Amino acid sequence: MPPLPSSAPIGVFDSGIGGLSVLQALRAELPHEHFIYLADSGHAPYGEKGDGFVCRRSLAIARHLHQRHAIKALVVACNTATAAAIPTLRAALPELPMVGVEPALKPAALASSTHHVGVLATRGTAQSARFAHLLAQHGDRTRFAVQACDGLAHAIERSTETGVDDTEALSKTRALCARYTSALGVFGTQTGMMDTLVLGCTHYVFTLDTLRALVGPQVRIIETGAAVARQTRRILDQAGLLLPEAAPGAEPAAIALYTTGQLPALQAAAQRWLALPPGQCASISVPGFS
């Protein structure tokens, strides 16, 4: 495949709507770039499936975005997919610049005054070799308490799908947040308490208000969207692929969103979190793995 122009879109994918939090940060950092977002909601949640499944699915999606949409870079906006698949993706598509998402353990270790940090993650991320390596790298002076949050990403998907006024769906999400933060231990700024919380799944950003109420206003909550956006800018710049700032009167940046799941769910999430109209969303079938 010949070199792509800087006007080519950036591909972003996640197992569902969670990656919209990363897309939100990417749009803020790179407002002139074009984006293709793919929510693999038809196969979600990744965090409770095996590495083999996640790796095969991620490879099918990466190839689809590369071949069908001629993307110039790929953002893997899913912690579980990054942990399970990004080495395979880079080996299969070496010509495609890639950025993954990992729990922000290093920034948390540097920021924590009590040297005690809580981490909420999917089971797939928490049990991955990549995450174990991160813990080993940054665990010398910091104690990390890690909680696998079974069902939380799915509950967030469901609460968005059914609407903000669905009391039952929202109550389930809040109950899971309360269960998992409680399981981590005591939050606060005193010695022995956790003064920092890392969100190890892009879905969890959408529960930020709930988590803030649970852990308290003095606890720092760290997510990775802004850092991923800055890294995406760096790799595009290094590759000479940054799209120049739009000239006056130029057409606005294009954004297209696709889902392998229920279209109304993506439309509701895009409208709720990114203020994007339903017409920018479409259903899609990704070949190569069923």
Nearest to 79, CA basis, from 108, 97, 60, 105: 105
Contact residues for 277 (Cβ-Cβ < 8 A; gap 6+): 271
Establish whether 78 is a catalytic residue: yes
Beta strand segments in the chain, E:
10-14, 35-39, 73-76, 98-99, 116-121, 143-148, 196-200, 220-222, 255-259, 281-283
**SS3 assignment, position 256:** strand
Catalytic residue among 78, 149, 177, 281: 78
User: Please, which residues bridge with residue 259 across strands?
Assistant: 39, 283
End-to-end CA distance of the chain: 26
Task: Decide if 55 is catalytic.
Answer: no
Phi, psi of 115 (to 5 degrees): 60, 35
- Residue 196: strand pairing partners: 117, 220
Rounded Cα distance between 49 and 30, Å, is: 33
- Which position among 55, 177, 201, 281 bears the catalytic label? 201
Return d(Cα 224, Cα 247) in angstroms, integer: 31
- The three-class DSSP label of residue 70 is coil
Residues annotated as part of the active site: 78, 201
